[in-house]
Chain A
Amino acid sequence: GDSVTQMEGPVTLSEEAFLTINCTYTATGYPSLFWYVQYPGEGLQLLLKATKADDKGSNKGFEATYRKETTSFHLEKGSVQVSDSAVYFCALGTGFQKLVFGTGTRLLVSP
């Protein structure tokens, strides 16, 4: 079945460091791919999305490219801030209008 694998955390970085959170997927067909972010005590917010191969989603300095050949959708940011500390979820959208989530990666950014 469809599945998403994310790198385990926590990922600990200093402010202004480069961020990569790896995400790979297994799916039949051509899923849409998403990154969600969850700040402490809150629900999930959509960070970015891509709906077809080679699409690049971007928002708030974060980017991810839909790579069909490597079945990947890695999240990157050139310079993280303390306010980026949160849990990040990679997800794929299935044909049954459900999302399959990865297990989440906690990011901790120190000043």
Chain B
Amino acid sequence: EADIYQTPRYLVIGTGKKITLECSQTMGHDKMYWYQQDPGMELHLIHYSYGVNSTEKGDLSSESTVSRIRTEHFPLTLESARPSHTSQYLCASSKTPGGSSYNEQFFGPGTRLTVL
């Protein structure tokens, strides 16, 4: 059973508000990821981290920012929410594998964000 948590699960907010989506994992995984999932189901990597104090932008440009001050915590922040940010946001984590194998990513339940 994966232990990765996201809060809130649902958020409806007005344009211009600052929001932070929380993601925590209790598995001691060094790598963490944020995906944006559009209504057509496709997943887009927007941020990832290889460890504490490491953050990288993903394949899809995003106006959000992330931080990784603690291993278990990887929050995502939008300084000024807009309707175009309405989406499902999924957090994931993985452990650096030994040898040449690739370890799977474990996903949280997601945050569904609606910006009015």
Contact = CB atoms under 8 A, between A and B. Distances in A.
Contact of B90 (A44, A49, A104, A106): A44
A33 to B, nearest CB: 9
A93 B102 contact: yes
Q: Sort chain B's interface into a size bin.
A: 20 to 34
Contact of A51 (B2, B101, B108): B101
B28 to A, nearest CB: 16
A93 B104 CA distance: 8
A89 B106 contact: no
Contact of A44 (B6, B31, B40, B107): B107
A59 to B, nearest CB: 12
B102 A31 contact: yes
Contact of B41 (A51, A99, A104): A104
Given A43-B90, A103-B42, A97 B109 contact: no
Name the residue in A30, A42, A99 with the highest tally of chain B Cβ atoms < 10 Å from its Cβ.
A99
B96 interface: yes
A94 B109 CA distance: 24
B77 interface: no
9 contacts: A43-B92, A43-B109, A44-B90, A46-B104, A93-B104, A97-B31, A98-B45, A103-B40, A104-B42
Interface of A: 30-32, 34, 36, 38, 41-46, 49, 51, 87, 89, 93-94, 97-99, 101, 103-104, 106
